[in-house]
Amino acid sequence: MSSSFFLKGKSRQVYKRKGDKIKKNNPKKQSAHNLENGNESSESDLDIRKFSEAEESESDHETAEQKKLRLAKKYLEEIEKEEAKRAELKEIDDVVGDRLKKDYLELKGKLKYEIAEKFEEPRQEDLRFIRAKEHRLTLTCVCISSDNSFVFTGSKCGTIVKWGVKEKRKLGSLTYKTHSHFLKGGIVSIAISTDSKYLVSSDESPNIQLWDPHTLKHIHTFKGHKDFITGLVFRKNTHDLYSASKDRSVKIWSLDEMAYVETLFGHQSPITSIDALTRERAITAGGRDTSVRVWKIAEESQLIFNGPIGSLDEVKLLDEEHFVSGSDNGSLCVWSLLKKKPLCTITEAHGSEHEVPRWITSLATLLNSDVFASGSYDNNVKLWRVCEQYRKVLPMFSVNVCGFMNCMQFTNDGRQLYVAVGQEHKAGRWFKLGSAKNGLLIVNFNIKT
């Protein structure tokens, strides 16, 4: 073999045949790529080197005590962050727990706010009397939305007026002229659901009219009673409606299904008043049969409480276990579901006229509290305080207004009381106060914090 093939420093030449392709490396591209990679690696190495040098210099200049202090501060910051997160979660848990506890106590009738001592007697500037031309005759009923945005009033001339609380003016009305197909005489009772989705009204007919409280459009008519309806009430936080009638029956309606559910019998005379809260129960006053009945709907039973002599016209729940009644003999009674007799009775609560006690024409209770109000035709709305385990009732103060107090209702926070005032009694024309005006009285209370 020839030695020319192994000459030092010379590369071996390769001869290609015609048609063969040999891939050549581009030295420019390769050098540029290597340059870029080299720059990147050098920059990253430089950053790491700088950071490590800075850390080393910082640790070199830091004494042992300073290092301990720095680490302790860092540890405290971490603890503060963890505790802040725990506090937020704890606050949420506390709020949910308090709400569940409140709902449970309310359902059991053991929730009570003692706020009577915080009420201050209203001054003249705290009273506001408003009127509407649609209410030509005596106002008979009033109801307030649960968010205290709207107030609805009804009168003997068959009109319903919607008032805006924030706007402080009339927002709309339903009159006999515009809704003669649905309104058949004087409005007797109105009620609004807790979520303000439905408004119901009854007049001098056996029918219940269902309205949209926002647009005042008619939705449905419920038929079933044999005489005109004296009272309507929604079960709290539901669309279950209870109606009481002169036909001595209580009917249950489901507005979710727009259907009749059940009829309850027991009273021996026309029912004059009805009320309900969260439980699946209704409470009614039987008028001349002098009885109050608590209807346990789920259990299909009833509790009977015999009141004083006379017509038991009004009944209102203080909470799920206690209620107040008013009679035409002028007496106010506080009751417990656990006893058949009143825990406390106030005779002639609004005085007498010509040796005849003035009738109790309306009641309003501030739910789960020790405050309630009563009305008659002595030109006064009286507020009362319940104390000593519901066994004693003390007068707080009176609000002077001329006329019949036909219906009253507190707002949820107790800072306002709305009173439907008229020249006549809501159920008849036995008396007439010519000096009175038909309108809505708004009483603003100052409650100490």
Q: Is the pLDDT of residue 132 over 60?
A: yes
* 423-430 long-range Cβ contacts below 8 angstroms, 24+ apart: 423/138, 424/137, 424/138, 424/156, 425/138, 425/359, 425/361, 425/377, 426/138, 426/140, 426/141, 426/156, 426/188, 426/361, 427/272
Residue range 326-342: average pLDDT?
94
292 vs 302: CA distance, rounded Å: 10
Residue range 112-134: average pLDDT?
92
Show the tokens assigned to 135.
């209410």
pLDDT on residue 102: 72
378 vs 307: CA distance, rounded Å: 23
- Amino acid present at 29: K
pTM above 0.85, yes or no: no
The β-bridge relationship of strands 344-346 and 169-174 is unpaired
Q: Do 214 and 238 contact (CB within 8 A), yes or no?
A: no
pLDDT tens for 15-32 read 444 444 444 444 444 444
Shortest CA distance to 232 belongs to which of 202, 195, 255? 202
**Percent of the chain at pLDDT exceeding 70:** 84
pLDDT on residue 69: 85
Q: Is the pLDDT of residue 330 over 60?
A: yes
pLDDT on residue 419: 97
241 vs 109: CA distance, rounded Å: 21
pLDDT tens for 340-356 read 999 999 999 999 988 89
Q: Do 446 and 120 contact (CB within 8 A), yes or no?
A: yes
327 vs 345: CA distance, rounded Å: 11
Of residues 279 and 82, the one with the higher pLDDT is: 279
pLDDT on residue 305: 95
